[in-house]
Chain A
Amino acid sequence: DVKVTQSSRYLVKRTGEKVFLECVQDMDHENMFWYRQDPGLGLRLIYFSYDVKMKEKGDIPEGYSVSREKKERFSLILESASTNQTSMYLCASSPTIAGGREETQYFGPGTRLLVL
């Protein structure tokens, strides 16, 4: 089974702090994704990566950056956390983005971030 793990289930940070959210997948997937989930808004894509050291902006990249130094690890960075970044953050991976069922995404358990 594909396993996607996230470094924390719950996190509390102060405004202005630098926050790192880590995601690791163990199935040698090419692609990794970061989403935030807010009530009534569904999942919104922040960034994705289709290869090591490659990154693409999603729909809401402002205030976030990412890093993918190794294939299995994709980090989301909040350079200076703000209260409007309080949310649930979900990481996902997929074998490919070349089309078909192989685009199925496998999700981690999520990190609930509270910024005070």
Chain B
Amino acid sequence: AQKITQTQPGMFVQEKEAVTLDCTYDTSDPSYGLFWYKQPSSGEMIFLIYQGSYDQQNATEGRYSLNFQKARKSANLVISASQLGDSAMYFCAMTGYQKVTFGTGTKLQVIP
């Protein structure tokens, strides 16, 4: 079985500051993928970033980076220079062999 844990139900961040959203995972599969998705109030899930379990370097996509610590089984999302449009729900997800699991999400609110 695989499990994703997001322990922060909600967070606030000042505009232009960086913020880290936590994600820990558990799996017995040696090969897996870790994803982050954003869900604005409109409801549509948007892919942000991907990290493979064998990737040596942390993934980056523009202002998003994934702090991957395999030994700790963590895959935290870092958003640099927060913008008002970053206010949304953020979900961490894991894929394994014919499996996919999402976390419960973190609601991020960016304060002007």
Contact = CB atoms under 8 A, between A and B. Distances in A.
Interface of A: 33, 35, 40-45, 48, 50, 56, 88, 90, 92, 97, 99-101, 103-110
B50 A105 contact: no
Interface string B83-112: 000000001010101101111110000000
A43 to B, nearest CB: 4
Given A88-B43, A92-B45, A101-B52, A50 B102 contact: no
A68 to B, nearest CB: 16
Contacts of A105: 35, 37, 45, 47, 93, 100
Contacts of A108: 44
Contact of B104 (A41, A88, A90, A104): A41
Contacts of A97: 95, 97-98, 100
B44 A107 contact: yes
A110 to B, nearest CB: 5
B7 interface: no
Nearest to B95: A103
A109 B33 contact: no
22 contacts: A33-B100, A40-B104, A41-B104, A42-B91, A42-B103, A43-B91, A45-B100, A88-B43, A90-B45, A97-B95, A97-B100, A100-B52, A101-B52, A103-B35, A103-B100, A105-B35, A105-B45, A106-B47, A107-B46, A109-B42, A109-B44, A110-B44
Interface residues of B, number: 25
B21 to A, nearest CB: 14
Contacts of B6: 42
B31 interface: yes
Contacts of A44: 102
A42 B104 contact: yes
A9 to B, nearest CB: 8
Contacts of B52: 99-101
A103 B33 contact: yes
B3 to A, nearest CB: 11
A104 B102 CA distance: 13
